[in-house]
Amino acid sequence: MEIMPEPSEWPAIMAARGRILETAQGGTLTQVLRATLDELEGLTGSCIGFFHFLETDQKTLTLQAWSTRTEREFCHAVGHGAHYGLDEAGVWADAVRTGRPVLHNDYASLPLRKGMPEGHAEVVREMVVPILRGRRITAILGLGNKPTPYGDRDLRVVCTLADLAWDIAQTKRMLAERQAIEDALREQEFFFRESQRAAAIGSYKTDFRLGRWQSSAVLDQLFGIGEAYERTVANWLAIVHPEDREMMAAYLTTDVIGRRQPFAKEYRILRGDGETRWVNGLGEVTFDADGAPLSLTGTIQDITERRLRDQELQRKNEEMERFTFMVSHDLKGPLVTVRTFLGYLEQDLEEGRAERVARDLGFIRDAAGRMGRLLEDLLEVSRVGRVVNPPVQVSYLDLAQAAVASLAGAIALRGAEVRVEAAEVLLTGDRPRLEELWQNLLENSVKYLGDQAAPVIELGVEQAAGKVFYVRDNGIGIDPRFQGRIFGLFDQLDPASEGTGLGLALVRRIVELYDGRIWVESEGPGRGTCFRFTLPAALKHPQRGAPS
Amino acid sequence: MKGEPFLILLVEDDPAHAEIVRRNLEDFRVANRIVHVADGQAALDYLFHEGPFRDSPHPLPGIVLLDLRLPRVDGLEVLKRIKAAPLLAPIPVVILTTSAAESDMAMAYEAKANSYLVKPIDLTTFTGLLEAFGYYWLAWNQYPNDR
For residue B43, name the pLDDT band (cuts at 50, 70, 90).
very high
Q: Compute the distance between CA of residue A267 and CA of residue A248 in angstroms, rounded to an integer.
A: 8
ipTM greater than 0.95, yes or no?
A: no
Alpha-carbon distance A440 to nearest alpha carbon in chain B (angstroms): 20
For chain B, domain boundaries? 8-139
CATH number of B8-139: 3.40.50.2300
pLDDT at A495: 46
| Neighbour-count burial of A182, counting CB atoms closer than 10 A to its CB (0-12 exposed, 13-18 middle, 19+ buried) | exposed
pTM of the predicted model, to two decimals?
A: 0.49
Residue A72 sits in a domain of what CATH number? 3.30.450.40
Domain boundary among A343, A364, A383: A383
Residue A373 sits in a domain of what CATH number? 1.10.287.130
Let me know if residue A265 belongs to a domain. Answer: yes
Q: Compute the distance between CA of residue A524 and CA of residue A479 in angstroms, rounded to an integer.
A: 4
- Whether the CB-CB separation of A371 and A331 falls below 8 Å is answered with yes
Mark whether A164 and A35 lie in a shared domain.
yes
Best mutation target, B27, B41, B121, to test chain A (most A CBs within 10 A): B121
**Phi and psi, residue B10, nearest 5°:** -100, 115
Q: How many CB atoms are closer than 10 A to CB A106?
A: 9
pLDDT at residue B114 is higher than 90: yes
Domain count, chain A: 4
Mark whether A329 and A360 lie in a shared domain.
yes
Is the CB of residue A497 less than 8 Å away from at least one CB of chain B?
no
Residues 6 or more apart from B59 whose CB is under 8 A from it? B6, B7
Q: For chains A and B, count residue pairs whose Cβ atoms are closer than 8 Å.
A: 75
Let me know if residue A410 belongs to a domain. Answer: yes
List chain A residues with CB under 8 Å of B100. 328
Let me know if residue A191 belongs to a domain. Answer: no
Burial A443-476 (b: 16+ CB within 10 A, else e): bbbbbbbeebeebbbbbbbeeeeebbbbbbbbbb
Let me know if residue A486 belongs to a domain. Answer: yes
Helix, coil or strand: residue A141: strand
Let me know if residue A188 belongs to a domain. Answer: no
Helix, coil or strand: residue A262: coil
Domain boundary among A346, A364, A383: A383
Mark whether A246 and A219 lie in a shared domain.
yes
pLDDT at A177: 85
Q: Compute the distance between CA of residue A238 and CA of residue A222 in angstroms, rounded to an integer.
A: 14
Phi-psi region of A26 (alpha: psi -120 to 50; beta: other; left: phi over 0): left
Let me know if residue A163 belongs to a domain. Answer: yes
Q: Compute the distance between CA of residue A429 and CA of residue A535 in angstroms, rounded to an integer.
A: 10
Let me know if residue A57 belongs to a domain. Answer: yes
Mark whether A33 and A87 lie in a shared domain.
yes
- Whether the CB-CB separation of B9 and B64 falls below 8 Å is answered with yes
Let me know if residue A546 belongs to a domain. Answer: no
CB contact under 8 A, A340 and B14: no
Mark whether A41 and A109 lie in a shared domain.
yes
Alpha-carbon distance A327 to nearest alpha carbon in chain B (angstroms): 9
Structural domain for A246, as ranges = 201-302
How does the average pLDDT of chain B come out, rounded? Answer: 89
Instruction: Provide block-wise average pLDDT over 10 residues at a time, chain A (548 residues).
Output: 74 88 83 90 89 84 85 68 76 82 81 63 84 84 90 87 83 84 88 80 91 91 91 91 94 92 93 90 91 91 90 80 68 88 93 91 90 80 74 92 89 90 90 90 89 90 85 85 65 53 81 88 84 90 54
CB contact under 8 A, B17 and A337: yes
Which segments of A168-275 are extended strands (E)?
201-207, 212-215, 263-270
Q: Compute the distance between CA of residue A27 and CA of residue A21 in angstroms, rounded to an integer.
A: 9
Interface of A with B in 284-343 (CB under 8 A): 324-325, 328-330, 332-337, 339-343
Domain boundary among A141, A163, A178: A178
Interface of A with B in 360-379 (CB under 8 A): 363, 366-367
- CA B119 vs CA A328, A334, A356, B114: distances in Å: 11, 11, 22, 16
- Whether the CB-CB separation of A522 and A528 falls below 8 Å is answered with yes
Selection from A366, A278, A9 nearest residue A157 by Cα: A9
